[in-house]
């Protein structure tokens, strides 16, 4: 801008410019925050991100000129706005108070603000520090994961906020004593067990707002084991059901054998039903040939197991000798199934 451009500037701009150069920013003027004399600003102003912050400065009749500054930048000089930020507005310019408001505060607004006044004697300043708090927010968290039992697992949960949030991990388990896990961004589990599967909750808290909470699901694969298989007694001509329950992840596939013969639904008047962890072998009209030993076999991609179950009639005696014979038959069958399992997988 040339000399002619400055001559065309409004007289009020020239006056304010003179204030800035000669009065508002004199070299070596000390900050008088805490001084019992005016001007007196608030020591600190703390607001949450997105709220409005009001900066107040107490003055008296001796004051002839006033201004608010952010570091070395003038925001307001009297009623004249210097800041181009539309969020900065004046809220009071009276004989006792000079205040401005910053709307929709963000973290870059944090810092020192100075109330500067001119009296008949000399300039004086008072400083207030604006503190911006930010609610916690989880920015990055691990995805759901599936691992085999015995593996090592590391979960990550990164959060931001002002003040810096505390991050905690918790295992959402109904079993007593398995709730709290760790107070860290990283959760490390060495040699994970099936009991450690389930949902893990990451919580970020800094007391500014409600904690930010996210969840991660860990699925732990493990080989099947049969948890329920009982011998059953049934009279001739009655309906008989043998039950075999196996825990496994992924769910086990079931097979039924009588001695070395694999059974199938619809053959020899039996029905096999597999639902979740349970498999049932149903006899609709028990005959003499149905009595005997049956083997339930449960398999998944991690392993194989079996259990021997006996269907017997009233008064039948299951002695140690016959039990031993059944055990030998099971061992032979298990060896055959192991060969079949490894060929399949």
CATH number, residue 308 = 2.60.40.10
Q: What length is written for the chain?
A: 345
Q: Are residues 174 and 106 in the same domain?
A: no
Distance CA 167, CA 136 (A): 10
Do the Cβ atoms of 60 and 96 come closer than 8 Å?
A: yes
Distance CA 233, CA 20 (A): 103
In eight-state DSSP terms, residue 343 is H
* Joined tokens for residue 308: 């021997």
- Start-end of H helices in the chain: 3-7, 11-19, 320-344
Span 81-91, pLDDT tens digits: 999 999 999 99
Span 150-205, pLDDT tens digits: 999 999 999 999 999 999 999 997 565 556 678 889 999 999 999 999 999 999 99
Look-up: residue for tokens 């049969």? 226
Distance CA 280, CA 246 (A): 11
Q: Are residues 197 and 218 in the same domain?
A: yes
Q: Is 325 exposed, middle or buried (0-12, 13-18, 19+ CB in 10 A)?
A: exposed
Low-confidence ranges of the chain (pLDDT < 70): 1-42, 174-180, 316-345
What is the β-pairing status of strands 53-58 and 73-77? unpaired
Span 309-320, pLDDT tens digits: 999 998 765 544
Q: Does residue 156 fall inside a structural domain? A: yes
Do the Cβ atoms of 144 and 60 come closer than 8 Å?
A: no
Distance CA 258, CA 343 (A): 23
Distance CA 304, CA 116 (A): 82
Q: Does residue 94 fall inside a structural domain? A: yes
pLDDT at 70: 93
Which structural domain, as residue segments, surrounds residue 90? 45-134
Cis peptide before 250 (omega within 30 of 0): yes
Distance CA 65, CA 63 (A): 6
Dihedral of the alpha carbons of 230, 231, 232, 233, in degrees to the nearest 10: -150
Helix (H) or strand (E) holding 327: helix 320-344
* Joined tokens for residue 43: 């020591």
Dihedral of the alpha carbons of 3, 72, 99, 30, in degrees to the nearest 10: -120
Do the Cβ atoms of 311 and 294 come closer than 8 Å?
A: yes
Nearest Cα to Cα of residue 279 among 304, 251, 315, 260:
251
Do the Cβ atoms of 155 and 198 come closer than 8 Å?
A: no
**Of the residues 222, 250, 281, which one is the last residue of a structural domain?**
222
In eight-state DSSP terms, residue 289 is G
**Of the residues 134, 152, 183, which one is the last residue of a structural domain?**
134
Number of domains forming the structure of the chain: 3
Q: Are residues 190 and 239 in the same domain?
A: no
Q: Are residues 60 and 129 in the same domain?
A: yes
Nearest Cα to Cα of residue 237 among 313, 183, 181, 305:
313
pLDDT at 327: 45
Q: Does residue 190 fall inside a structural domain? A: yes
Do the Cβ atoms of 244 and 254 come closer than 8 Å?
A: yes
Q: Does residue 27 fall inside a structural domain? A: no
Nearest Cα to Cα of residue 122 among 37, 56, 11, 34:
37
Q: Does residue 13 fall inside a structural domain? A: no
Q: Are residues 240 and 277 in the same domain?
A: yes
Rg (CA), the chain: 40
Q: Does residue 323 fall inside a structural domain? A: no
If phi > 0 it is left, if psi is from -120 to 50 it is alpha, else beta; for residue 269 that is left
Distance CA 154, CA 102 (A): 43
Distance CA 133, CA 53 (A): 12
What is the β-pairing status of strands 44-48 and 123-141? parallel
Q: Are residues 293 and 247 in the same domain?
A: yes
């Amino acid at each position: 801008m040339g000399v002619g451009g400055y001559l065309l500037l409004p007289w009020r701009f020239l006056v304010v410019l003179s204030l800035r150069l000669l009065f508002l920013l004199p070299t070596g003027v000390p900050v008088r925050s805490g001084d019992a004399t005016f001007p007196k600003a608030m020591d600190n102003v703390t607001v949450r991100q997105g709220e409005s912050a009001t900066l107040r400065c107490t003055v008296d009749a001796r004051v002839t000129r006033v201004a608010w500054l952010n570091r070395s930048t003038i925001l307001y000089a009297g009623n004249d706005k210097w800041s181009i930020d539309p969020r900065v507005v004046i809220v009071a310019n009276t004989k006792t108070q000079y205040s401005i408001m910053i709307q929709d505060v963000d973290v870059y607004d944090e810092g020192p603000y100075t109330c500067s006044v001119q009296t008949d004697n000399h300039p004086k300043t008072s400083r207030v520090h604006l503190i911006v708090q930010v609610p916690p927010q989880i920015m990055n968290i691990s995805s759901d994961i599936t691992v085999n039992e015995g593996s090592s697992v590391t979960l990550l949960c990164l959060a931001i906020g002002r003040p810096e949030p505390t991050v905690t991990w918790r295992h959402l388990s109904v079993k007593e004593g398995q709730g709290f896990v760790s107070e860290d961004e990283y959760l490390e589990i060495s040699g994970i067990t099936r009991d450690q599967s389930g949902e893990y909750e990451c919580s970020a808290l800094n007391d500014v707002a409600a904690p930010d909470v996210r969840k991660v699901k860990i699925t732990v694969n493990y080989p099947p084991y049969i948890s329920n298989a009982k011998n059953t007694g049934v009279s001739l001509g009655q309906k008989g059901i043998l039950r075999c329950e196996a825990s496994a992840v992924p769910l086990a596939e079931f097979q039924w054998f009588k001695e070395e013969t694999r059974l199938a639904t619809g053959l020899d008047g039996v029905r096999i039903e597999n639902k979740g962890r349970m498999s049932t072998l149903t006899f609709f009209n028990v005959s003499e040939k149905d009595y005997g030993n049956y083997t339930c076999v449960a398999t998944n991609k991690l392993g194989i197991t079996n259990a021997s179950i006996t269907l017997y009639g009233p008064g039948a005696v299951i002695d140690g000798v016959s039990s031993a014979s059944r055990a030998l038959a099971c061992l032979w069958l298990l060896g055959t199934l192991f060969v079949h399992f490894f060929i399949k997988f």
